Amino acid sequence: MDLLRSEPPETIAEVYSKIERVNVMVEKHPETGVKGLETDLMEMAQKFKCVQCGHCCINLSDAYQTSVPDFDVSRWQYEKRYDILEWVDSFAGLNDVWISPKTHDSVDRCPWLRKLPGKDKYTCRIHETKPIHCRDFPKSKRHALDSGCRGFHT
Ligand code: SF4
Ligand code: SF4
């Protein structure tokens, strides 16, 4: 934190932007004049519309072959979502998902993805409590365009 505080906001914005793939701008507070960071999350909220194409869940393997933070696991424990927990392998501080409870291997396709009958659309069977990385996708317009998400094309 001391290192971050010692760096100019422009440097922090650049690092944050590269790590999180979010457009980050340095803006001055209109009253105090103090510099702070702004992201394009407002644009996300206004212009993004998920078209349920399923691309992120089908083609981006880091959606379903990854690790989730402890708070995802804690929430599933609190919610008694043993159907989800049996697909999590917690070992050495990591919570790997999704691991088949039958084969104990990583899956090639997310077990929660469902195609809507008669439509070229997909839905998540655990939408109400899906992992944070799924809820946060895409992180920005740039992330959407880079990853092939069509949510800004409508
Ligand atoms: S790729 Fe984008 S538009 Fe398609 S399902 Fe995922 S979030 Fe929605
Ligand atoms: S948990 Fe849901 S949102 Fe996440 S990859 Fe699977 S189907 Fe997609």
Separation of CA 142 and ligand 1 centre (Å): 14
Mean predicted confidence (pLDDT) in 130-146? 91
Could you give the CA distance from residue 106 to residue 66 in angstroms, rounded to a whole number? Answer: 9
Percent of the chain with pLDDT over 70: 90
Nearest residue by C-alpha to atom 5 in ligand 2: 57
Residue 154 buriedness (CB in 10 A; 0-12 / 13-18 / 19+): exposed
Q: What is the DSSP string of the chain?
A: -HHHHHS-HHHHHHHHHHHH---EEEEE-TTT--EEEEETHHHHHHH-------HHHHH-GGGTSEEE-HHHHHHHHHTT-HHHHTT-EEETTEEEE-B-TTT-SB-SS-TTEEEPTTSS-EEETTGGG--HHHHT-SSSHHHHHHHT--TT--
Q: Is-contact 57 113, C-beta < 8 A? A: yes
Highest mean pLDDT among 15-24, 26-35, 115-124: 115-124
Nearest-ligand number for the alpha carbon of 132: 2
Which of residues 93 and 47 earns the better pLDDT score? 93
Domain residue spans of the chain: 2-39, 55-147
pLDDT higher than 80, residue 39: no
Q: What is the pLDDT of residues 101-137, one digit of tens each?
A: 999 999 999 999 999 999 999 999 999 999 999 999 9
Question: What's the gap in Å between 64 CA and the centre of ligand 1?
Answer: 14
